[in-house]
A and B are shown apart, each in its own frame.
Chain A
Amino acid sequence: MLEPHIASNLIVLVLFGAGIGVGIFVRRNRLWREAFGELWRRRPVAIVVVLVYVVLALLDSVSWVGGVAVGEDVVSAYKARSLLDRAFADVQEASYSAPLAGAEFYGGALLDHPGRHLLGTDILGRDVLYLTLKGARVALLIGGLTSLIAIPLALLLGVSAGYYGGRIDDAVFFLMSTLASIPGLLLLIALIMAMGKSTLSVCIALGVTSWVGLCRVTRGETLKLRELDYVQAARALGVSEPRILVRHILPNLMHLVIITFVLMFSGLVLSEAILSWLGIGVDGSWGQMIDQARDELSRDPLIWWNVFAAGSALFGLLLAVNFVGDALRDILAPRTLREEP
């Protein structure tokens, strides 16, 4: 049994390796290189913003046990803590304080770390900036894990339906129309209630509700690709089917996968916020912070920095991702993908 933090470190390592691999691939392949060059030319700011979020998420994903305990919390010395946790170690207060304040918001007791909380502290005295930055990992985890579930599923079913047709196509099409006819949010809620509340089950549920769009696109595209001359030629030459799928079909679907993933991302994070409001979201997400702020906005004087921090972080990420997604769509598939998934 692997300790969770070691597993997380390994995953980061694998992702890092995969990132380098993709980078090398992109540099070598002319088409992709040009596409990404164009993207960078069009949306440099948005890409930098997205990268900042990714770096934050990575900082919060690499963790190890050890080091001195944080304040009075002696257990923390035995717990895996990430780089981010360590950077924000020991900035605990007793309760609410406003951004950069020197005293508690209510009551006015002096803070232990006056002026150090850029975005204030929450009801338990935790630094809001810290909580907000930690939310980046959760958001990317929701997007990433869901894609890991939805994309392979959609590709597998979409490609086999499109390529083989017949019964398989009928079955996949039936599955798609069944799931698509259930109102999305209700399906999501039903799935999570059935599986119980956890990050994984939220991601599985989001995956189940979001693969249909991509599946429909890949199925349609595979149908077209199958009839293309070079695929027919490869078939006539007796190239094995797995080889045809891997060498000729899949690479030509990749741009669709990337576009769909980026466009899907903001929908996933926004759905999670709604789930948080229903009490079935993911712990530590911005959605949860916003949900908590439901009460805080009616305090007087009101506590605005919690919801401000979570709302801005969410807004910043989604705005950047939406811009990147739009640009990607224009570059990679100028006309085919106008409909939102």
Chain B
Amino acid sequence: MLAYVIRRLGYGVIVVLGVLLFLFILFFTVASPDDVARRALGEKALPEVIEQWKANHGYDRPLWPWQDFSNNMLFEHYRRMLTFDFGRSDADDALITERLRQGVGPSLALTVPLFVVGISVGIVLSLFVALFRETYIDRLGVLLCVGGMSVSILLYIMGGQLLVGIWLRWFPISGFDPDPAVVGRFLALPLLIAVMSGIGGDVRFYRTVFVEETSRDYVRTARAKGAGEIRVMIFHVLRNALIPVLTRVVLAIPFLFMGSLLLESFFGIPGLGAITVDAINGNDFSTLRTMVFIGALLFVVGQIATDVSYALVDPRVRFE
């Protein structure tokens, strides 16, 4: 077991190193540091100010190790990212770590409830649809699901904001306040919209799993013993179908930290997603590559955790 964990960790490290190389190629060879500096400092910046800025941001070295082995941007990039020393934003010199710290809270405040509500609603609805499989309710459900999947999330957001925020006035149209007394008001509308937009794909997937499960022998046995349809669904089908459902769900957990690019931007929630969109609009490469790196890191860690827990449950995995 230990050997498996070590092997898995080692591979994770290699992947993270690969991601960093990829980011380096993408971000350091594309925009010249002078461009980035000029954008940050304004058009009137003097050459010495630009040099100073480049030095402060670590953009003043040669790119590759073969140009200067002891002082190059590639190694510096690795050193900084791996020690979580993300430095300062290219756009406004703010400490990136500090900014991330501020953003995690609002992001989690949105994504954790979204995760929980999304899965519960998805499972309840898909159980409902699977229960009535082969009837018009099932066909209507699938039709609605495919229809829901064919609509752009932009339309969900714009429509939801217009309908619920402006015409019906149920919740604030946008904004965020971490004060627990009011935070719920701000999250209600984005939550509603996000659940709506994601429900189609989820329900369709869970439904397939459940329907497949209902054709198994144990279900027939349970039914033969006189268990009611609803009982069969909840106590037999749901329990046995949980593994494929969880596989899909667990992989989404690392991305909870990243927030949601679109929702946060439209609803003015100052989370990591909104920070990322700002970085995109402001050509803030240092923030953007930090976000990409963190996303990749969380994904790798999440995957290792998943794999190891599977290996704990099912010893065959270890020797694959």
Asked if B15 and A174 make an inter-chain contact with CB atoms under 8 angstroms apart, the answer reads yes
Closest to A335 in B: B212
What are the residues of chain A within 8 A of B258 when measuring CB–CB? 183
What are the residues of chain A within 8 A of B205 when measuring CB–CB? 340
Which of A194, A273, A297 contacts B162 (CB under 8 A)? Answer: A297
Among A11-19, A126-134, A317-325, the stretch that binds chain B is A317-325
Minimal beta-carbon separation of A138 from chain B (angstroms): 14
Cβ of A266 within 8 Å of any chain B Cβ, yes or no, is yes
What are the residues of chain B within 8 A of A274 when measuring CB–CB? 152-154, 261-262
What are the residues of chain B within 8 A of A322 when measuring CB–CB? 146, 149-150
Which of A181, A185, A291 contacts B154 (CB under 8 A)? Answer: A291
What are the residues of chain A within 8 A of B277 when measuring CB–CB? 278
Mask: chain B, 247-268; 1 = CB below 8 Å from A; 0 = not? 0000000010010011000000
Asked if A315 and B150 make an inter-chain contact with CB atoms under 8 angstroms apart, the answer reads yes
User: When chains A and B are docked, how far (Å) is the Cα of A190 from the Cα of B280?
Assistant: 8
Q: Which of A174, A178, A181, A194 has the most CB atoms of chain B within a 10 A radius of its CB?
A: A181
Asked if A287 and B152 make an inter-chain contact with CB atoms under 8 angstroms apart, the answer reads yes
Mask: chain B, 21-62; 1 = CB below 8 Å from A; 0 = not? 011001100100000000000000000000000000000000
Mask: chain A, 170-193; 1 = CB below 8 Å from B; 0 = not? 000011011111110111011101
What are the residues of chain B within 8 A of A190 when measuring CB–CB? 23, 26-27, 288-289, 292
What are the residues of chain B within 8 A of A191 when measuring CB–CB? 26
Among B64-72, B91-99, B294-302, the stretch that binds chain A is B294-302
What are the residues of chain A within 8 A of B102 when measuring CB–CB? none
Closest to A277 in B: B154
Decide: A278 near B296, CB < 8 A? Known: A182-B22, A191-B26: no
Which of A175, A181, A266 contacts B150 (CB under 8 A)? Answer: A266
Closest to B260 in A: A185
Chain A contributes a number of interface residues (CB within 8 A of B) equal to 43
Asked if B299 and A183 make an inter-chain contact with CB atoms under 8 angstroms apart, the answer reads yes
Decide: A278 near B280, CB < 8 A? Known: A182-B292, A190-B292: yes
Closest to A311 in B: B155
What are the residues of chain B within 8 A of A169 when measuring CB–CB? none
What are the residues of chain A within 8 A of B178 when measuring CB–CB? none
Cβ of A111 within 8 Å of any chain B Cβ, yes or no, is no
What are the residues of chain B within 8 A of A290 when measuring CB–CB? 152, 154-155, 158
Cβ of B303 within 8 Å of any chain A Cβ, yes or no, is yes
Asked if A182 and B19 make an inter-chain contact with CB atoms under 8 angstroms apart, the answer reads yes
Chain B contributes a number of interface residues (CB within 8 A of A) equal to 44
Mask: chain A, 208-248; 1 = CB below 8 Å from B; 0 = not? 00000000000000000000000000000000000000000
Decide: A178 near B295, CB < 8 A? Known: A193-B283, A307-B155, A314-B152: no
Cβ of A257 within 8 Å of any chain B Cβ, yes or no, is no
Cβ of B234 within 8 Å of any chain A Cβ, yes or no, is no
Closest to A317 in B: B150
Mask: chain B, 135-163; 1 = CB below 8 Å from A; 0 = not? 00000000000110111111100100010
Closest to B209 in A: A338
Cβ of A283 within 8 Å of any chain B Cβ, yes or no, is no
Mask: chain A, 246-286; 1 = CB below 8 Å from B; 0 = not? 00000000000000000000100010011001110000000
Closest to B146 in A: A322
Asked if B262 and A277 make an inter-chain contact with CB atoms under 8 angstroms apart, the answer reads yes
Closest to A177 in B: B15
Cβ of B276 within 8 Å of any chain A Cβ, yes or no, is yes
What are the residues of chain B within 8 A of A340 when measuring CB–CB? 201, 205
**Pairs of residues from A and B, 9 with the lowest C-beta to C-beta distance, nearest first:** A318-B150, A178-B18, A183-B295, A194-B30, A273-B152, A319-B150, A181-B299, A181-B296, A182-B296
A residues near B (Cβ < 8 Å) are: 174-175, 177-183, 185-187, 189-191, 193-195, 266, 270, 273-274, 277-279, 287, 290-291, 293-294, 297-298, 307, 311, 314-315, 318-319, 322-323, 326, 338, 340
- Given A287-B152, A311-B155, 4 extra CB contacts under 8 A: A182-B292, A274-B152, A278-B277, A314-B152
* 14 pairs, A vs B, C-beta closer than 8 Å: A174-B15, A177-B15, A178-B18, A178-B22, A186-B276, A195-B30, A270-B153, A277-B262, A290-B152, A290-B154, A311-B151, A315-B151, A318-B150, A322-B146
